Each structure stands twice: as structure tokens, then as C-alpha cells.
Chains A and B, each alone.
Chain A
Amino acid sequence: MENIYLTIALAPLLGAIIAGFFGGMLGRKATHTITILGVLVSTVLALYVFNHHVLEKGEIFNQNLYTWMQIGSLNISVGFLIDNLTSVMLVVVSFVSLMVHIYTIGYMDDDDGYTKFFSYISLFTFSMFMLVMSNNFMQLFFGWEAVGLVSYLLIGFWHHKESAVEANLKAFLVNRVGDFGFLLGIGLVLAFSGSLDYAEVFSSLDNTTNQQLWGLDLITVICLLLFVGAMGKSAQVPLHVWLPGSMEGPTPISALIHAATMVTAGIFMVSRMSPMFELSDVALTVVMVIGAITALFMGLLGIVQNDIKKVVAYSTLSQLGYMTVALGVSAYSVAIFHLMTHAFFKALLFLGAGSVIVAMHHEQDIRKMGGLRKKMPITYWTALVGTLALIGFPGFAGFYSKDMIIEAVHFSSLPYAEWVYYAVVAGVFITAFYSFRMFFLVFHGKSRVDHHTEEHLHESAPSITFPLIALAIPSAVIGYFTIDPMLFNGWLDNAITIDAEKHVSMTELSNIFHGAAAMIPHAVQTLPFWMMVGGIATAWVFSLYRTQWADWVQNKFHRTNYALESLYGFDRFNEIVFVGGIKKLGNLLWKVSDMGIIDKIAVNGSARLVGFIGSVVRPIQTGYVYHYAFFMIFSLLIILTWVLFAGDNPLLQIEF
């Protein structure tokens, strides 16, 4: 099996290397064929691995490939841990990546950086595989930062755009803030366990009992620091600010990296670390609350966005918040379940948005669209599937995962769980509202498309519509088929640890679960369903039925509207306090301390002092040899006298 795992990771890497170095030579067709083939190999093998581990319940594979370094008794290796969690992630990542690769053929058709783009997305796929297959913290961190690197390169792919290269710098640095915490967390893990290997770390968790740091339990501090890393990568408030900016990148990578895979790395990581998080209710509570804040408040921002990609981006933030909430209430498998369904339907929505953008000649403002339903039937129907899945319409994939999250919060006994429950239920209304607002504005109603574009408006090429269809299918049905095995029949059991006595959510969920089919009729009797219907209705009223009402509401609640449109002021705050403050501090240190105190006063000052002494002594340097000779002889006499008669051990003792 080892070779299979290795091939899964290396096939896309090989594709990336070939495309990167020889893409220009090989031409477009050969390049995309090679990279797609690489990812296809990974996808097929990932399915095989999934079958082997999950369906046939194969043994967990945990082996090192090579020793990265050996320091005393500490071994840090590159190695693979393949259990059911990894297997699920492999399938999700490889499948979405494959779809995005195919989609790129159509989407990047007229771009000069065609081959480079393929190289990057294959490199990303490799990095993501290394992240999810890792069996230790070092490699996890490697994958973690490597996906960050590719994200950086891809957000700034159109490097001539100032906004794109602003956004990629911001994305990298905000992620680094998260990594700052993450790395310290890893350092503390090593300190208590003496290892970076997951299995060894988890088996030495007893070492942390009764240990304190910064007034908290050591394990709480560690979990919180690791979670800071997750907050960066999975864009949780207040480290979410980079994700909307990342929309500057080409749409395929928004789908692959900034919706389906990379941004869920934080969710994956916390699930992987479940044995540690289970030991700290404080950390879990923080995780849950941060998740709820993100789910609710980022969703609200989706309502006021008019850029088609920004709407989907804020929706992604909000959904990541839902996953984080699930982690907080110890429903790790539900979080992974939502991660999976979200990967499909959010990739679908992004790719659908991309299809619209291409048709609209790169116009992204939804106020300038409308009535696209007729012109783009495949895009329309697949987008509808994606939207219904996103808002949790009964039967669709997102329905199962989101409903389970809401129920899991309901059963949680953590402090503030009730408030979080209200937040996630309210989130359902908001999600339905902004999703259908966008859907109606783009596809329904009268066309607001400008005349020139209108003439050329047509359905996208097959390379674009095929991935849409291929993603629409799981977006519709995957929840129905996988909820039972994934949550209640042990698909993820060998990777996730839950302290069932303290954290009862999963147990309670399985008590009330009576099959996927039974959930649909039951849903109609629940609050979230009616919140969703309310959301759709509100969207219909404001965007189709009485559009002027929307303006009225905006004017009436202009303060709220201002808060939303200024994105709660996060960007402005960061710009002034962090960017501005740090530049000021840097200048102060440089000019005052470095050039002023050290250089001017200390260094040049002492140079001047030497100069001053020199100017005093200079008259002695008369240039006459006999003056020098006199001084030499005179000095010699003094020294000799000292050596002979005085000092500690005079050579000649004189008796007086």
C-alpha cells in the first residue's frame, strides 16, 4: 500500500514539475493533459484507498518514509498516517481538484499564464495531500505552509493588478499570524511529549495533567495556540480578513483553495487533534464561540455584497464558522461531514459563478446581471442545486450536515451553547437570504446586462459545464447516502476521539437519528426549515418582487448598513493599527535608536572622541626626529625604572 499512498502524493507533484519547467515547451494541450492525468491517478487511487480503509475497514497505515532529522532521541520524519479521516479527505481533495483542473481548460483559455496555472494547482494538490496524509506535526506544518505558498502565488496570479498583489501579501501575512500560534503550540507539544509524531503525542497526553501555563491548564494553552493556526487557515474572526481579498485570484482557485480544500485545513487539523481538544472544555468553548461569531456575522456581510464572488466568499466564511462550531461541541465527524458536503457544493457555486463571469466578459457585479436563466441553462440548474444544498433544503447534501450541526449544538452542555444555538439557527435565515438574493439577481428577473455583452451571452464550454454537472450530483445526494455511515456507523471512528461522558452531542444525535429519509419529513416541523423558507421569501421580495423595498430598508437602517458595508471596520482597524503602527515603530527604531543613539552618539561619538584626543595629542607630533627620540628614551627610562624598582615583583630590591 505504501507505494499507492506515495503515488497519490507524488503524481500531482510530478505534473506540477513538468508543467512548471517544461510547460512552455510542451504547449498547452500536453501540459493540461499531463497535469490532469496526474490528478486523475491520485483520484482513482484515493477511491481505492477509501474503499480499502473505510469500506473494507483496513488497518490504519502509519509509517515513516524517511528521517528528516534525528536529534538525540527525537526523531522527526516524513511519513504517512492513513486512517479513515485521511481517506475521506483524500477523496474530497482529489475529486474537487480534478474537477477544477478540467474546468481550468475552459476558464483560463485566453490567459498567458495557462501552463503556469496548471503547474500551481497541481502543486497545491500535492501540498494538500502532504498535509492530510501527515503523521506528525512537522510535516503537517510543511503542508500547512506549502498550501499557503501556492495560495499566495495564485491570489497574485494576475500580478499586474495592484489589488491582487495587495491581497496575496495580506493573505500570507494574516496566515502567518495564525502560524505564529500554531508553531508555538507545536513547540509546547514537543516540550511535554518529547515527540512530534501524532501517535506518540496522543499516548503521552497524561504528561500534561496538572500542568499550568499562563494561568490556564497546559493542554488548554496548547489547544488554543493550535486553534490560532486553524483560525488563520480556516479564516475565523478576527483572522478572516484575508479570505475576501483572496477572490482577486482566478475563480478556479477560489473554488479549489479558498472554498473546498485549503481553508478547511484548520477544521481537519482540529479533528485530527481531537484527543487533545477533548481534554479542554475551555478550548472547546472558545472554538465554538469563535465559530458561531464567524458563522453569524460573516453571513450577514454576504447580504450586502454585490460582487458575485464576494457573496460566495462570505458564504464560505460563514460555513467555515458552522464547521468550527461543530468542532467546538465535539461533533468532529459532523464537522468533517459538513466539510465534505461543503467542498462539493461550494466548489460548484464558485465554478458556477466563474461560468457566469466568463459569459459576462469578467463582469462580477450582480446588479448588472439578471435573467441569465434562459441563456445559461446548465449553469442555472447546477447553481440551483448548489444553492439549495448550501441553504440546507431538505434532501440536499448541505441539509444533512447543517441540520446535524444545529442539533449537535442543541445537545451541547458547554457554556454559551444556547447562544451559539440561536446564532446558528439565525444563520440559516441569513444563508438562505443572501444565497437566493444572489441567485435571483443573477438568473431571474429582467436582464440588466449591457447590450454588447447581451449579444454574446451563451452557455459556457463543455470543459466548464462538465465539472458543474459532476459536482452537482454529489451536492444533491452525498448527504443522503453518507450521513448514516459517516456519523453513526463508524466511518471516522478510528481517527476521532470523543470523551462521550463529558461531551454528549454525538451520543444524543445518534439517539434521535432514524435514517436519512426520515429526516426530510421531520425537518418541516423544525425551526431551521422555516427560517430557511423565510430567507428565500425575503430574498424574493427584495430582489424580484419589490426591489425598491431593499433601498428603503437600507436607508432606514443606514447605521447597520454602514457597519456591514464597512465590513465591521476590521480592515480599517488593521490598516491603521497594525500596518500603520508597525511602520511607525520601524521608522522610530531605525531613525532614533539605530541611526541616532547607536550610530550618531555611540559610534560616531566615540570616533569624534578619538578625533578629539588626536587633536590634543597632535601638537606633540612635531615631525622632528630628535623629539621622537627624546620621548622614546624618556619613556623607556620610566618603564625600566618601573620594572626594576617598583611593580609587584621588582627585579632589584632597594633597601632604604
Chain B
Amino acid sequence: MELLSLLIWLPILGGALVILIGNNRADTARWASVAISIVVFVVSLSLYTEFDSSTHLMQFEEKVSWISQFNINYHIGIDGISMPLIILTTFSTILVIIAGWEVITRRTAHYMAAFLIMEGLIIGVFSSLDAILFYAFWEASLIPMLLIIGIWGGDNRVYAAIKFFLYTFLGSVMLLVSLIYMYNKGGSFGILDMHNLNLTLAEQSYIFWAFFVAFAVKVPMFPVHTWLPDAHVQAPTGGSVILAAIMLKMGGYGFFRFSLPITPDASLEFSDVVIALSLIAIVYIGFVALVQRDMKKLIAYSSISHMGFVTLGVFALFSILTMGADGSLVSLNGGSIDGALLGLEGAMVQMISHGFISAAMFLVVGVLYDRLHSREISTYGGVINSMPKFTGFAVLFAMANAGLPGTSGFVGEFMVILGAVQANIWYAVLAATTLIVGAAYTLWMVKRVFWGSITNDAVKTLKDINGREFLILAILAAAVLIVGLYPQPIIEVMHSSIEHLLNQALTSKL
């Protein structure tokens, strides 16, 4: 099996194996799961080490005919956009498996297996180069998450699980329709063929909106975001981590892989709408986050607000550059190619960084929830007195969430804001309010949960984090700091692909 296939099927088969081990042998299941996830992660690192960052062409490509009547192929491959997201996936999976270690006592093997299987399916999403294969992975990855929320979730888990499923399913049906339409027109389900498929503006518009519904729900963008707080609140910690760290990125990835290259003219046409929705997400959702009383809800809203930077960074490029008659890129408002690249690459960095930070924030809440079974901010207060080590981590991640320079949270926001200035200063003004509002909701929560003196006796009895929790948080802290202090390696691998994408997005199909 080739490397990429191995990465998809190893965790899926591993998951099956863990199910066979069974819930009765929970410890074996745990160790097997963590071993599999580590192996997968190590294997995925060779994608990075053997990656050729000088080209935008697909690498590690595999192509086998699958359903030949319809020219559907098992076609996979990665470029600089998908590779970092795959490594993020393999990285995060290890963490959630360790995080669920002694917390999940009911159907442990099934829990672990669900995450492993989901890992394989999501890697499949990021590496598919055939639209039907993509769609199959895209839909299939919903199932383990649905089960995770539905089985291991909180009291209102069924409502949340169904809401989650219906929302995302609604989006993806539209996606399927537009994929079939393009097959009828071009005779291929190959995503790269679709990039080159000529479409009229009307066709592009329909397809753009179909894509948009699918991806915007996943991101999630205003106003189709309301499933996320419910899903997060009901999901177990590990579910929230994967949901925030990776599943949301599938939406962002869709804009990169489908919307911009397949419907460039429609993307230009409607970029203002997308930007407006992104800015609403950043500002409006920031205010909503401020008044949350449930920590998970607060972080969920904060996620939506941060993901607004992704869509803003992607679509700002249409207000920065345009394609001149001679095929060269022309600046619109005095902006530069660098500005457009800052937006796009900033969006990518923001996705990766958000993967670390949101994961960390949900794990932090998980640590508290495991102890006192409450997510209410008002339950806590003065946690630093009983959990000083834990508070150190929590404050670091909170600062990262508030975009402090030196942490990964700063890099993406900084890049997108610098890019947005060149698109329209008002975009930047609105986006930059996150500096204030983001700090306000995050640090106000920190103040009420961690600082102050203890008012609730239960807080007094809290035990500081154990070795397992320390390990997970320390790994994430290292990731947050490394990306914050030295983001260049990530940017380097994506650069050729992003430059190519920029050209695709600005090349009219009309």
C-alpha cells in the first residue's frame, strides 16, 4: 500500500481491530488505540519530510479505477494545502485518545475506535482528488462524530446530534448535486478536471452557492452556525476537540479546494457577501461569546469568531488583486500580491493554529468538567489556588486564544488583518476588533474561573492535573509556541500551492 492509502486505511482497520478487542478489555483497547494513533502520526510525518515544497502539483498520488461506468476513481494525492491539515489530524487524534484514557469508562473500545475510524475518514477527505470519493469520505466522517455525540454526550445529546447531522447533511446534499452536474458537463469526477472545467457565470453561481452551503455549515459561518454551540456542549471532550480542531477545517478546506478554483468568477461575484458574513462572525459572535455562562459555549462561539478569519482571508484576495488583460496580476486598491498571499496563507495558518488552540481550550474545560461535572463559569473561581500548574497552561492557551504574539493564535490573525488592510481598510478595522473583544471574552472567563479567591468549597478539593493531563497540555503548549515563534516552516510548505491557487482564483473561466 502506498503511503497516503496507508494513512487512510491504517486507522480505519486499526479502529476495526480495537472494536474486536472489545469493551471488556478496555485497557488493551486503550493501549492498542494509542499505539495505532502514534504509528499513524509518525507515518504522516514522512509526508512532511518527503514533501517537495517547490511545486504546486499533487504529490503522493494514487489512482485506481473504482466505478468505471461513471469514471469514478480511487484517486488521492496531496499538495501544500492538504498536507498540513492531514498532519494536524493525525496529531490531534493522539491527543483525544490520551484525553479519553480514564475518563471514558463506558464502551471504551468503541469510543477509541470511533476516533481512529474518523481519523482515517478525515484524512480521506483531505487527500481525495476524486469528487465522489471526497463526498463519500465527507459524509462518512459525519457518522463517527454523530455516534460520539449521541453515545458519549451530555443530557441533551440526541437533540444536539440530530441538529448537527441535519445541518451538515443539508449542506452536503447540495454539494453532491453540483458535483453530479459537473460530471454531466465534463464527463469526469476528477477534482482537478473540475478545476479546468469551463462554466458560465450562471452555472458557477449555482455551484458556488451549493458549495457555499456545504462548506459554510461546516466552518461554520454566520448564520448557519447555531448547531456548533449545541454540538460542543453535548459532545464529550474528545468529540469537541476533533470537531473544533479538524472537522471545522473541512469547511475551510472546501473553499480552498473547490470554491476558488472551480467557480472563480462566482467567487469574485459574491466575495463581498462572504466577507460580510465573515466580519459578522468575527464581530457579532465575539459579542455573543462575551455573555456566555457555559465555558464550552463560550469557546464554541470563540471558534466561530476565529474561523471568520479563515473565510475573510480567503475572499479578501478578490478586493486586492485582479487579473489584467495580459494575464498579469493587477492591484486594485494599491494592494500587492503579498497582501493577497497574506490573506490566503493567513487563513491556512489560522486553521492550523485554531486546531491547536481550540483543542487546548476544550481540553482545559474537560479537565475541570471531569472533576466537578460542571461547565458553568459560576461554579468555579480561584481555581489557581488548588490547581496552579493547570492554571499556568490555561492562561497560556487563553492568551493564545486572545491572539498574543509569540503564540500561534497571533500569526493567522496578524496575517489576515494585514492582508485585509489592502483589500479595504474597513474590513481590517472590523476584523481587528477581535483584539479587544477576543481578549475580553477569553480573559474575563479566565478571571472568573481561575483568578480570585475560592468561593465554592468544591473548588478547594480540586486536584491538580495528573501526568497524563500534563502531557497532553504540554504537547499542545509546545505546538502553540513553536508555531507562534517560527511559523515559516508551515508557510514554506504551502507557498507554491497557495500561489497556484491565487492564480486559479483570479483566472476567469468566462
List chain A positions with a Cβ less than 8 A from chain B: 66-74, 138, 141-142, 144-146, 149, 152-153, 156, 159-162, 165-166, 169, 172-173, 176-177, 179-180, 183-184, 186-188, 190-192, 194, 211, 213, 582-583, 585-587, 589-590, 593-595, 598-599, 602-603, 607
Contact = CB atoms under 8 A, between A and B. Distances in A.
A594 B297 CA distance: 13
Contacts of A146: 404-406
B311 interface: no
A183 B431 CA distance: 11
A70 B488 contact: yes
Contacts of B345: 71
B425 A188 contact: yes
A187 B405 contact: no
B417 interface: yes
Contact of A598 (B163, B166, B223, B428): B223
Contacts of A141: 405, 414
9 contacts: A71-B345, A74-B342, A138-B414, A152-B443, A162-B453, A166-B447, A177-B436, A184-B428, A583-B291
B309 to A, nearest CB: 13
A162 B382 CA distance: 10
A73 B417 contact: no
Q: Which of A66, A70, A142 has the most chain B CB within a 10 Å cutoff? A: A142
Contacts of B406: 142, 145-146
B452 A68 contact: no
Q: Which of A71, A141, A176, A582 has the most chain B CB within a 10 Å cutoff? A: A71
Contacts of A160: 382, 385, 452-453
A145 B290 contact: no
A322 B329 CA distance: 49
A74 B404 CA distance: 22
Given A145-B404, A187-B418, A191-B421, A599 B226 contact: yes
Given A69-B491, A184-B429, A190-B421, A159 B452 contact: yes
B197 interface: no
Contacts of A144: 405
A238 to B, nearest CB: 15
Nearest to A177: B436
B141 to A, nearest CB: 22
Nearest to B489: A69
Interface stretch (B263-271, B333-341, B456-464): B333-341
Contacts of B425: 184, 188, 213
A590 B429 contact: no
Interface in B416-460: 417-418, 420-422, 425, 428-429, 432-433, 435-436, 439-440, 443-444, 447, 450-453
Given A71-B338, A173-B436, A582 B287 contact: yes
A589 B414 CA distance: 27
Contact of A68 (B433, B439, B450, B488): B488
A66 B488 CA distance: 10
Interface in B302-360: 334-339, 341-342, 345
A179 B435 contact: yes
By secondary structure, the A interface counts as helix
B404 A149 contact: yes
B226 A159 contact: no
A603 B231 CA distance: 14
Nearest to A602: B223
A582 B495 CA distance: 40
A629 to B, nearest CB: 28
Nearest to A116: B388
B487 A73 contact: no
B288 interface: yes
A587 B291 contact: yes
A187 B495 CA distance: 21
Contacts of B447: 165-166, 169
A505 B198 CA distance: 67
B491 A70 contact: yes
B451 A183 contact: no
Contacts of B336: 72, 191, 194
A74 to B, nearest CB: 4
B451 A156 contact: yes
B487 A68 contact: yes
B501 interface: no
Given A146-B406, A172-B443, A190-B339, 19 more contacts: A70-B495, A72-B341, A74-B341, A142-B406, A144-B405, A145-B410, A159-B451, A165-B447, A173-B436, A173-B439, A173-B443, A176-B439, A187-B420, A191-B421, A194-B338, A582-B440, A590-B287, A590-B288, A599-B226
Contacts of A162: 452-453
B486 interface: yes
Contact of A165 (B410, B433, B451): B451
A187 B338 contact: no
Contact of B432 (A71, A184, A585): A184
Contacts of A142: 405-406
Contacts of B418: 186-187, 190
Q: When A and B form their complex, which 3 residue pairs have the shortest distance between CB atoms, in order from nearest?
A: A187-B421, A586-B291, A165-B451
Nearest to B345: A71
A72 B418 CA distance: 14
Interface string B246-290: 000000000000000000000000000000000000001001111
Given A176-B436, A191-B335, A585 B287 contact: yes
Contact of A66 (B163, B284, B486, B495): B486
A131 to B, nearest CB: 11
B323 to A, nearest CB: 17
Given A186-B418, A602-B223, A180 B436 contact: yes
Q: Which of B290, B405, B488 has the most chain A CB within a 10 Å cutoff? A: B405
A384 to B, nearest CB: 39
B432 A180 contact: yes
A141 B288 CA distance: 28
A279 B499 CA distance: 36
Contact of B337 (A72, A145, A583, A595): A72
A165 B447 CA distance: 7
B7 interface: no
Contacts of A585: 287
Contacts of B167: 603
Interface in B211-233: 223, 226-227
B491 A598 contact: no
Contacts of B116: none
Q: Which of A67, A142, A586, A593 has the most chain B CB within a 10 Å cutoff? A: A586
A187 B226 contact: no
Contact of B440 (A74, A166, A173): A173
Contacts of A583: 290-291
Contacts of B384: 159
Contacts of B417: 183-184, 187
